[in-house]
């Protein structure tokens, strides 16, 4: 019997995946369904790893890649998501496949077949060749970062150059960009999606509300509790702070 853990914050999606898994791989049993980054980290700190993990990328409390900051997975992972821009990241963290929602039975079967090959229950050489080809393909595609965002304005789409943006921020659950002249522009995408599309050498996710451009940072102040406070070259609607736990990551990014 193969043990499986599903990390998914949508109950219907988790139930559907469990049902499909029962049809395609009846010898597999779903040991646990986890719904958030925090719950996943806590659960794996107290339980042995399963044979396979299915992991959604957008969870209730943030991006699932945050899990890998605290948990090192020795078992293979199959990512499930509605977005395709995370493919390269997925293959860097022990992923063997990347399934786009809604997941079909044939897609799931192919992923499990690949798992069987890579785990030694098939032609291992073929499996490695397939994985290498996928990594190469996604590397070529995913390294292209957008130079512009298209902003809907009435009946038009107005281009906004990424290099004109000092920061992105979330206000009243709406993502906005702040340009260097200090103009605010509504961006029709979730902040999590925007952050993943940006060049990580040029932008940093300071916290849940802000993504800041490197060249926009004018000052860095050590704040109480070991936090950092950033000052940008344009006025921002609220203070931008970086938690103590993320200060080393920020310093490494800023000094690159």
Instruction: List pLDDT tens digits, range 114-139.
Output: 888 777 654 444 444 544 544 444 44
Which of 109, 142, 175 finishes a domain?
Answer: 142
Domain that holds residue 78: 2-142
- Mean of the pLDDT values across residues 150-179? 91
Total structural domains within the chain: 2
What's the pLDDT score for residue 139? 45
The structure's pTM equals 0.50
Tell whether 221 and 109 lie within a shared domain. no
What's the pLDDT score for residue 30? 96
Say whether pLDDT at 61 is over 50.
yes
**Percentage of the chain modeled with pLDDT above 90:** 50
Tell whether 72 and 188 lie within a shared domain. no
Report d(CA 52, CA 67) in Å as an integer. Answer: 16
């Amino acid at each position: 019997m193969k043990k499986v853990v599903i990390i998914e914050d949508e109950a219907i999606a988790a139930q559907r995946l469990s049902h499909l898994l029962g049809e395609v791989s009846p010898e597999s049993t779903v040991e646990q369904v986890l719904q958030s980054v925090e719950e996943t980290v806590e659960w794996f700190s107290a339980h042995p790893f399963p044979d396979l993990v299915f992991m959604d990328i957008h969870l209730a409390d943030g991006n699932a890649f945050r899990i890998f900051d605290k948990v090192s997975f020795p078992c293979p992972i199959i990512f499930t998501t509605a977005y395709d821009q995370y493919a390269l990241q997925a293959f860097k963290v022990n992923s063997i496949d990347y399934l786009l929602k809604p997941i079909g039975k044939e897609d799931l079967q192919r992923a499990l077949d690949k798992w069987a090959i890579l785990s030694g229950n098939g032609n291992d050489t073929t499996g490695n060749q397939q994985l290498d080809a996928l990594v190469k393909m996604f590397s070529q595609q995913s390294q292209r970062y957008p130079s512009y965002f298209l902003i809907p304005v009435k009946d038009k789409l107005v281009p906004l150059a990424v290099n004109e943006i000092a920061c992105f921020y979330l206000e009243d659950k709406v993502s906005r960009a702040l340009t260097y002249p200090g103009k605010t522009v509504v961006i029709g995408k979730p902040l999590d999606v925007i952050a993943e599309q940006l060049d990580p050498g040029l932008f940093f996710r300071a916290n849940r509300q802000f993504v800041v451009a490197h060249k926009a940072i004018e000052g860095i102040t050590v704040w109480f509790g070991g936090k950092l406070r950033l000052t940008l070259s344009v006025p921002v609607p609220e203070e931008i702070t970086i938690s103590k736990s993320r200060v080393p990551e920020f310093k490494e990014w800023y000094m690159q």
